[in-house]
Structures are given as C-alpha cells and as structure tokens.
Amino acid sequence: MRKINFDVFNGDADGICALIQLRLAVPKECSLITGVKRDIALLQQVDPTVTQDVTVLDVAMDPNRPALDNLLSQGAHIFYADHHNLNQIRTHATLTNHINTSSSTCTSLIIDKLLDGRYRDWALVGTYGDNLFSVADKLVEKTGLCDISRNKLKQFGTYINYNSYGVSLLDLLFPPAELYQLMAPYPSPFDFITEHPRVYTTLEQSYLHDSEKVSSVVPYSEHLGSRVFMLPDERWARRINGVYSNSLANQDPSIANAVITAKSNGNYAINIRAPLKNSVGADELAASFPTGGGRKAAAGINCLPTEQLSAFISAFQQRYALRT
C-alpha cells in the first residue's frame, strides 16, 4: 500500500502562511487537511493506515491528542508546530515538536525562526493576520520595508484571516485549501497580489462590506475593563466576528472584548480578546466552558449553550474587571 504524506493546518492566515514558508523551503507532495478556523479537530481526518509523514501547523494539540496518539502508535512521523495553550506537550521518538505558547508569537513566527527568516514577508502576513501588530511592526523595522509595503502585508494578513471565519466552508469566500494552493508557489506575497488581483480584491471588498455592517453594532453590555458585543446569526456576522474582535482589541489596549455570535441552533459562538496591555487569561476562561480553548491573548468557544450565556458574561467581566 502506498504511503501518503499529509499537511494539516489551521485555515487562518497564521496556519496558511506557516505552511507556505515551510513548503517553499522543504517541498513535499502532501495531501491537505484544513477547514474553517474553528475546525481544529483535524488530525482525526488522517488515516493512520496509509500515513507516512504528517506536518501539523497552528492546530491545538490537546483536542487532537487521541488522534495524535493513534498516529504515533502506528508508526507515523509527525512534525508539530503550534502556539496554542496545552496541558502537556506530547513526547515521542517520531514526534518533532516546536511548541511556543507565548502570547507574543504565532506559528508563522515559529517557522520563520526555524528558516532564519528566509520567507519573512509571508511570516509577516501571518503575524499581522494573527493580530500581533506590534510584534510584526518590530520585524518590519529589521527588514527595511517601507510603510506602503508594510500596510499591504498588514491588510493582506487581515483579509486572509477574515476569510477563515464561518460555521462551514459555505460561509467563506475561498476554501482555505484552495487559497493556500493559489499562494503556495510564490516566494513573496507581493508577487501573489500582483499575479492574482482578483483574489485580493474579492477579499478586500467583502471585508470592507462586512466591516461597514458591523460598525453600527453597539455594546450589549459594558463593565469596567470589558465590553460584550452581540452579532446576529447571519453570514456576514459569521465572517467578520473574528477580525472585528481583533479590531476592538486594538481600539483600546486596556479593555477586554467578547464578541458573541448567535448560531442557528440557538446557542452561541464566542470570540474572547484579552486586553493588549495584559494579554493573558483568554485561553483559561474559554476552556472553563464547553467547546472552549485558544491562546492567552485570544480564544473562543465554539458552541456555548444558551443557558450558560449569563454565566459566561459574568465570568468574563469578573476576569477582566479593572480594580480601582
């Protein structure tokens, strides 16, 4: 039986840009496994009976631990790079880990470091997309990019990240695997933008349209140190909620924000952003509720039961209450 290599990656800007860098440096024929941003239990889609090598990028290890253990037990060789919170790093003879849960890094930066900055512009796109603006700006200073180029990478990262949010692929403008395949051949994101203006323009126009719609939303509740926003169960809201959460965080670095999006089943999807001045606690808060997880600065809950909404808002406000 012929063995297959797999690339398993988060469908957001960070996951896509991490894989672009890695495959430019180390080309390998692989089957792709990805999905919408919150589709994180991806390793279970890998068939261990036909697997040779697996590369996992920007996918939380804890939710994938059973599938990971199964693959390792059947002889798979796995390269794992990620920055999400986890209880314990798995160790194994055929598992190579590059895990860093610092709130000032992302998977694109982990790969960038391993490659000594060979494809730095793609790393910057992923870093901007992950809302690590100040980290990315410091890297830009080292590369010598002009402000126009910096802003183009920042916008592109935001647009790619915007494209990853939705309940299913039907909510997205481009399936993440398709977007990756379009961008992967280009050593520079600037070359891709030049060669594929339709892709860039489609992402930009939809992002600006949805941003205009969400601009009229007012806080559902405000507390000293935190704000909560509610979005409807509509496609535009499902697409914009993640980057909208990032935008709110950047407006006031001392305020925590929660964006709650209604789901068709009556429950809620929640985006949590810790204050940029104190980027901790979002992962722990999310993990205290069913289907929650993430990283210190930014986390989410995939499906919060409606009867737990009040409890979540109370816990969120208490966690980020400013002491006077």
Give the whole-angstrom CA distance, residue 147 versus residue 96: 37
Query: Angle at which helices 107-114 and 13-25 pack, to 10 degrees?
Result: 20
Give the whole-angstrom CA distance, residue 310 versus residue 268: 12
Over 80: is that where the pLDDT of 71 sits?
Answer: yes
**Model confidence at 322, in pLDDT bands (50, 70, 90)?**
confident
Higher per-residue pLDDT: 88 or 149: 149
Instruction: Parse the chain into domains and list their residue ranges.
Output: 4-204, 221-319
Q: What 3-state DSSP class applies to 172?
A: coil
Predicted pLDDT of residue 3: 87
Give the whole-angstrom CA distance, residue 180 versus residue 11: 9
**Model confidence at 2, in pLDDT bands (50, 70, 90)?**
confident
Backbone Cα Rg of the chain: 19
In the numeric block, which tokens belong to residue 38? Answer: 């919150």
Over 70: is that where the pLDDT of 323 sits?
Answer: no
pLDDT digits (tens, 9 = 90+) for 114-168: 999 999 999 999 999 999 999 999 999 999 899 999 999 999 999 999 999 999 9
Among the listed ranges 5-9, 86-90, 163-167, which one has the minimum average pLDDT value? 86-90
**Across residues 94-110, what is the average pLDDT?**
96
DSSP string, 28-70: ---EEE--STT----GGGS-TTSEEEEEEES--SGGGHHHHHH
Q: Which of 207, 113, 195, 198 is nearest to 157 (CA)?
A: 207
Q: What angle do CA 36, 42, 47 make, to 5 degrees?
A: 135
In the numeric block, which tokens belong to residue 185? Answer: 């051949």
Angstrom CA distances, 42 to 33, 61, 235, 238, stand at 7, 10, 23, 21
pLDDT digits (tens, 9 = 90+) for 192-247: 999 999 999 999 999 999 999 999 999 999 999 999 999 999 999 999 999 999 99
Predicted pLDDT of residue 200: 98
Q: What are phi and psi of 81, to 5 degrees?
A: -125, 130
* For the chain, percent of residues with pLDDT exceeding 90: 92
Over 90: is that where the pLDDT of 101 sits?
Answer: yes
**Model confidence at 85, in pLDDT bands (50, 70, 90)?**
confident
- Which CATH number is 221-319 given? 3.10.310.30
CB atoms within 10 A of CB 306: 12
Predicted pLDDT of residue 324: 39
Over 70: is that where the pLDDT of 1 sits?
Answer: no
pLDDT digits (tens, 9 = 90+) for 259-301: 999 999 999 999 999 999 999 999 999 999 999 998 899 999 9
Burial of 41 (C-beta count, 10 Å sphere; 0-12/13-18/19+): middle
Over 80: is that where the pLDDT of 16 sits?
Answer: yes
Residue ranges of alpha helices (H) inside the chain are 13-25, 65-73, 107-114, 120-129, 133-143, 147-163, 176-183, 189-195, 197-214, 235-251, 282-287, 309-319
User: Domain 4-204, CATH 2.30.110 — does that match?
Assistant: no
The highest-confidence range among 85-89, 181-185, 291-295, by mean pLDDT, is 181-185
Give the whole-angstrom CA distance, residue 107 versus residue 88: 18
In the numeric block, which tokens belong to residue 194? Answer: 């030049």
